[in-house]
Amino acid sequence: MEFEVWWLLAIPVIFGCGWVAARLDLRSLLSESRNLPASYFRGLNFLLNEQPDKAIDAFIEVAKLDPETTELHFALGSLFRRRGETERAIRVHQNLLSRDDLPQADQEHALYELGHDFLKAGLLDRAEDAFSRLHTGAYAKAAQHAKLTIYQIEKEWRKALAEAETLSDLDPAVSYRKEIAQFHCELAQEALQRKDVDAVGHELDAALAVNPANVRAPLLRGDMLLAAGDAEGALRVLRTIEEQNPMYLGLAAKRVMKAYEALGRAPEGLATLREALRKNPSDDLLEIVYEKTVSLEGPEAALILMREQMHRAPSAPGMARLLEAHAATAQGDTQSDLQLMGKLITQRTKSLPRYVCDQCGFRARLFYWQCPGCNGWETYTPRRADVPAAS
């Protein structure tokens, strides 16, 4: 490769251009920094020194001095809401909305944030109104999700149902089958309390049409048929649960046994549940089978049941029942010792038979179709957890 003399001239020129560009950038940076209020730098200093309260006060002063700092207003509003200072967050976003010069995109953003402020403050009607005004734009879909949350909090199941169906139409890739089916079940539950049999049947049919895997619908239909005195019909419906999802048999066990007892076939019902327990071990199902074994066949049969069950699927609640069965068949000091051991294990395991949400880990002593922690539907596995919560 031949050496070109003009390269010697090009090198200083390149360095010179770089130096000029750097000077221009530096002047621009200095010019911008001179335009920033001193409060802005004080706020940054407070943040670096881990003094968030003083930093917030400094940034508020910046926002007052320079109303054009829209992004700073949004940041302050979100920060206030996270800290639980909803009144201050509401004022920040309302001040933004009162500006006539605010661009349309920022107006929608402010309205969306204001809706969340109201939601956090528990002002559900005002939150709903704010989200309802976002018909179009970048925040329309998120606002509909927020409205769906509000309707569930208010237990406005008809509105929640309409909102979930609208969201399903807008985004077919996202499934709302579980939610829609559960909303129908909630409406059926309300109709069941009103003893409106036709409405119960209509809602349960709709639930299964949307989500054939829904287990709550046959449970509610079983309740309806039992209340109407149709034990045979209730049994036919409740038996389908084992085919749908045998994990839910523990929730259906009491209903199944009640139907068999109404038909005068209690021993057959106990045998059916015992076979189901053998196939699908469950503490909830074991509880019913144990109690019915004691009442129908006596403590000796209950002891045999518990021995077999503990060898097959040991659990802390089951061990407490085994000791109870041993105590019922023992005498004297042995009986007293076994009763004492049973009481100690029962006290120890009182906190253990809790259901755990698969989505957020929230633990509850009762089974919920909707998690109280994350509001997710059908997130609880219908099996009791034997592992205590981390301390």
The domain limits of the chain are: 352-391
Q: Which residue has the tokens 């179709």?
A: 369
The Cα 27–Cα 220 span in angstroms is 74
The Cα 325–Cα 330 span in angstroms is 9
The Cα 324–Cα 343 span in angstroms is 9
Q: What is the pLDDT of residue 46?
A: 46
The Cα 19–Cα 6 span in angstroms is 21
**Tokens standing for residue 353:** 């038979």
Phi, psi of 363 (to 5 degrees): -105, 140
Judge contact between 188 and 220, C-beta under 8 A: yes
Beta strand 355-356 with 363-364: parallel, antiparallel or unpaired?
antiparallel
> 32-44 b/e with 16+ CB inside 10 Å = b?
eeeeebebbebbe
Annotated binding residues for Fe cation, written as ranges, equal 357, 360, 371, 374
> 146-166 b/e with 16+ CB inside 10 Å = b?
bbbbbbbeeebbebbbebbee
10-residue stretch averages of pLDDT, the chain, 391 residues long:
49 51 43 47 49 56 56 77 86 82 87 93 93 90 93 94 89 86 95 92 95 93 93 93 85 93 94 91 88 92 90 83 82 78 74 75 85 88 56 40
Which ranges constitute the DSSP H helices of the chain?
A: 6-35, 38-48, 52-65, 70-82, 86-97, 104-121, 124-132, 140-153, 157-170, 177-193, 197-210, 216-227, 231-244, 249-262, 266-279, 283-297, 299-312, 316-329, 332-348
Annotated binding residues, written as ranges, equal 357, 360, 371, 374
**Tokens standing for residue 128:** 């709903």
Q: What is the pLDDT of residue 85?
A: 85
The Cα 73–Cα 52 span in angstroms is 16
Phi, psi of 314 (to 5 degrees): -65, 145
How far, CA to CA in Å, does 185 sit from each of 28, 165, 200, 252, 255? 64, 15, 8, 16, 17
DSSP 136: S
The Cα 267–Cα 295 span in angstroms is 11
